[in-house]
């Protein structure tokens, strides 16, 4: 199973008019080096408003996240699932609904000797780690082929994933603000906050 990504589907109305892909850390909640405790989940400005607007427009809200903390042995798959469930519940309390969260637990570097044996098996090169699109494609298959509205994230990997999907990539000026310098790509749009990013895509 360790070659697979983690899929948590919370709702599926089957009749969405489109799909939007969101990054998690630095986009929905504050960027931390690694998130392993629910106390660390703090929403960024205008996120709940942005998600509510997507809900109102009947768009599937799909979170796609790289979570290498699993491969680093900092959290287990179970911990990760629980944190995602908490994120879903916290948003739900604000009447903001995400439909699914897809997490890649892998990391390609095999060099660290100090990681627990059970985490070692996630030290692989995979097709799901963004800018890879395996998770996006699985979501597209589940939510029907309704059109992809776009991708919102705070890193170049999100923009490259958008390009790989042939859709629009928007950077929010939170988290890394698109300045991670990993990939040489240009966002279609750069927005102050999450709500603005949603409005640009709608």
DSSP 8-state symbol, 126: -
- Choose the catalytic residue: 23, 99, 154, 158: 23
Of the candidates 45, 21, 34, which has an alpha carbon nearest to the alpha carbon of residue 119?
34
Alpha-carbon distance of 116 to 106, in angstroms, equals 14
Whether 184 is a known active-site residue: answer no
Indicate the burial class of 200 (C-beta count within 10 angstroms; 0-12, 13-18, 19 or more). middle
Half-sphere exposure of 161 (CA within 13 A, CB side): 30
Burial class (CB in 10 A: 0-12, 13-18, 19+), 5: buried
| 25 in active site | yes
What is the maximum span of the chain, computed from C-alpha positions, in angstroms? Answer: 48
Residues with a catalytic annotation lie at: 23, 25
């Amino acid at each position: 199973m360790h070659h697979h990504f983690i899929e948590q589907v919370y709702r599926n109305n089957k009749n969405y008019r489109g799909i939007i892909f969101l990054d998690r850390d630095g986009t929905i909640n504050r960027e931390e080096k690694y998130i392993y405790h629910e106390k660390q989940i703090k929403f960024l400005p205008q996120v709940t408003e942005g998600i509510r607007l997507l809900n109102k427009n009947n768009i599937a809200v799909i979170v796609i996240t790289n979570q290498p903390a699993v491969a680093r042995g900092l959290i287990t798959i179970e911990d990760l699932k629980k944190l995602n469930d908490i994120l879903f519940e916290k948003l739900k309390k604000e009447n903001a609904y995400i439909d699914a969260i897809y997490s890649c637990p892998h990391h390609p570097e095999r060099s660290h000797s100090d990681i627990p044996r059970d985490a070692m098996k996630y030290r692989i090169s995979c097709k799901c780690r963004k800018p890879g699109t395996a998770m996006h494609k699985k979501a597209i298959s589940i939510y029907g082929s309704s059109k992809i509205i776009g991708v919102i994230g705070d890193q170049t990997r999100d923009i490259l994933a958008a390009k790989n999907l042939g859709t629009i990539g928007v950077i929010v000026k939170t988290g890394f603000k698109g300045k991670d310098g990993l990939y040489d790509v240009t966002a279609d749009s750069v927005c102050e906050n999450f709500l603005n990013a949603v409005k640009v895509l709608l």
